[in-house]
């Protein structure tokens, strides 16, 4: 649902009026005012009953960010479920760079960091990442994209099942963090 400029102004004015009158209603008018102009997807996610089911407007960047955050949850939980020996194997793999796999945010100059912040802090999704910086301070969207493609490939191989990732699968995914020209 794309809002016209006039509709955006009306929303902002209504939110200002509600705020000035200290009106307390079921809707978070400040959240709506702050997001209706550029993050209508967030308003729809916050109030799904207003917009109904079946509205498929979900910008590609929002969907990609959601998929990447979901992948990182699976990577981290899969790693935690491993035996100590398998954890050592994963950390020793080239793509792990000697570290435990951990989501470290997105390039702060991309829209993905902002989208992730809205999902995590405003909508309460992916609470596991709430205490982390969502800015990786490096251009890493291509890295996340390679990891995500490999993750989806492995998921397809498994018939779409959501089994815990094995050490070999984690290594295969994390090795995608190394640029193909350097493998």
Residue pair 64/117 in contact by the 8 Å Cβ criterion: no
Both tokens of residue 106? Answer: 């997105």
Both tokens of residue 119? Answer: 């999902």
Q: What is the pLDDT of residues 149-168, one digit of tens each?
A: 999 999 998 877 778 899 99
What φ, ψ does residue 163 adopt, rounded to 5°? -75, 160
* Segments making up each domain of the chain, as ranges: 5-51, 60-182
Q: Measured on CA atoms in the order 39, 151, 165, 136, is the torsion positive or negative? A: negative
Say what the pLDDT of residue 56 is.
53
84 contacts: CB under 8 Å, gap ≥ 6: none
- Burial status of residue 56 (CB atoms within 10 A of its CB: 0-12, 13-18, 19 or more): exposed
| CATH placement of domain 60-182 | 1.10.3190.10
Say what the pLDDT of residue 1 is.
59
- CA angle in degrees (0–180, nearest 5) for 40-41-44: 85
Say what the pLDDT of residue 21 is.
79
Q: What is the pLDDT of residues 17-45, one digit of tens each?
A: 777 777 777 888 888 878 877 888 898 88
Both tokens of residue 140? Answer: 């890493």
Measured CA to CA, the distance from residue 60 to residue 81 in angstroms comes to 31
Stated pTM of the model: 0.83
Measuring CA to CA, how many Å separate 14 from each of 27, 34, 35? 12, 12, 14
Both tokens of residue 100? Answer: 């435990």
- Name the 3-class secondary structure at 17: helix
28 contacts: CB under 8 Å, gap ≥ 6: 46
pLDDT above 90 covers a percentage of the chain that reads: 60
- Burial status of residue 14 (CB atoms within 10 A of its CB: 0-12, 13-18, 19 or more): middle
In this prediction, the residues of the chain whose per-residue pLDDT falls under 70 are: 1-3, 52-58
155 contacts: CB under 8 Å, gap ≥ 6: 161, 162
């Amino acid at each position: 649902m794309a809002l016209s400029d006039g509709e955006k102004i009306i929303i902002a004015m209504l939110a200002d009026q509600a705020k000035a009158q200290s009106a307390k209603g079921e809707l978070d008018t400040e959240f709506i005012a702050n997001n209706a102009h550029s993050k209508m997807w967030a308003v729809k996610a916050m109030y799904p009953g207003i917009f109904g089911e079946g509205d498929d407007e979900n910008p590609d960047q929002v969907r990609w960010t959601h998929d990447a955050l979901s992948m990182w949850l699976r990577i981290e939980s899969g790693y935690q479920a491993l035996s100590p020996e398998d954890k050592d194997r994963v950390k020793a793999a080239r793509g792990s760079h000697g570290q435990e796999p951990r989501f470290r945010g997105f390039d702060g100059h991309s829209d993905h960091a902002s989208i992730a912040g809205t999902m995590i802090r405003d909508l309460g999704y992916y609470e596991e990442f709430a205490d982390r910086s969502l800015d990786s301070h490096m251009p890493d969207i291509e890295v996340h994209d390679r990891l995500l493609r490999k993750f989806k490939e492995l998921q397809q191989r498994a018939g779409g099942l959501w089994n815990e990732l094995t050490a070999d699968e984690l290594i295969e995914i994390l090795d995608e963090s190394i640029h193909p020209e350097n493998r």
